[in-house]
Amino acid sequence: MMHRRDFLATGLAATAAAALASGQTTDAKPAKHQFKLKYAPHFGMFRNLAGDDPIDELKFMADVGFTALEDNGMAGRPVELQKKIAATMERLDMEMGVFVATGDFGRPTFASGDSGMADKVLADMRAAVEVAKRVRAKWCTVVPGAFDIHLQKDYQTANVVELLKRCAAICEPSGLVMVLEPLNHWSDHPGLFLSEIPQAYLICKAVGSPSCKILDDLYHQQISEGNLIPNLDRAWSEIAYFQVGDNPGRNEPTTGEINFKNVFKHLHAKGYQGIVGMEHGVAGGGADGEKALINAYAEVDSFEA
């Protein structure tokens, strides 16, 4: 005869097995993945699974296999928290991805040639160098501001190049690399100066510094120009960093139209050793959505090397 306690235990085990088979939620911790590329989540991406404390979330990220972190807002965090995050990442053997060094989405900070705006940009870059030292960051994001409607585009490009040369001179002694991010006009950021990979390639070639490279955000470039793999091949010498988000929706891979499995296979075959920033939302809600996000990365990372 089966005792009630044994019956309950057997029943619970059967229920859990059935839930797993049907894809339903259980309280089981997500498995640890051995990713081929260095995918970097943001804080808040796993708040339901890991809680709101950034240190706990870092530990969770490492536990499920992520080896890097992005934090656009790192420069605005208290210095002591920056140091704590860096120490935790060092213990977990995680790399720091980009943080935003300077970016204005309304004013022509780079394109106008205005000396006051330039002074603010240069101050931002000096501060970014110090943040990078504290958090062991190799890259920082630079958004060269809005298009100046009062100047022809070639004059604006010359202004952008000259100011970037001054920024690069600040970054070079420490080895910090500015990555210029083209952003799409059509869905998210109308009116910005920099929007396409060929444009960023031209600018980086003109600046001619190892501290001035491209951040290729494949979400933005799918909207702006498509042709993702040929464009990254053509601009390869000037690309230092990638970010991703599927389109439409700007959520995790597999939720939109981009074949990220092929794109990631291509990056891996080219020997890319850098970080792939997960700059996107979570398609599903709650813990289930966060587990689905992890599984999506496992799926698109499952290409044959």
Query: What are the sequence ranges of the domains in the chain?
Result: 34-300
Instruction: Tell me if residue 181 is catalytic.
Output: yes
Q: Which residues of the chain have pLDDT under 70?
A: 1-27
Q: Which of 70, 196, 252, 279 is catalytic?
A: 279
What is the CATH code of the structural domain delimited by 34-300?
Answer: 3.20.20.150
- 257 Cα distance to chain centroid: 19
Q: Which of 181, 196, 238, 252 is catalytic?
A: 181
* Confidence (pTM): 0.90
Distance CA 202, CA 214 (A): 10
User: What per-residue confidence (pLDDT) applies to 27?
Assistant: 62
**DSSP per-residue letters across 102-120:** EE-SSS-TTTT--HHHHHH
User: What per-residue confidence (pLDDT) applies to 29?
Assistant: 79
For residue 2, give the 3-state DSSP assignment.
Answer: coil
φ and ψ of 136, to 5 deg = 60, 45
φ and ψ of 220, to 5 deg = -65, -40
Tokens coding 157 = 């490009």
Residues 232 and 239 sit within 8 Å (Cβ to Cβ) = yes
User: What per-residue confidence (pLDDT) applies to 58?
Assistant: 98
Distance CA 130, CA 140 (A): 12
Helix axis angle for 79-92 and 115-135, nearest 10°, is 50
- Helix residue ranges, H only, the chain: 4-22, 47-50, 54-63, 79-92, 115-135, 153-171, 197-207, 218-224, 228-234, 260-269, 286-300
User: What per-residue confidence (pLDDT) applies to 151?
Assistant: 98
Query: Hey, what's the torsion of the CAs at 286, 77, 220, 34, to 10 degrees?
Result: -60
User: What per-residue confidence (pLDDT) applies to 28?
Assistant: 74
The model's pLDDT over 124-183, given as tens digits with 9 standing for 90+, comes to 999 999 999 999 999 999 999 999 999 999 999 999 999 999 999 999 999 999 999 999
User: What per-residue confidence (pLDDT) applies to 11?
Assistant: 39
Tokens coding 278 = 């997960």
User: What per-residue confidence (pLDDT) applies to 9?
Assistant: 38
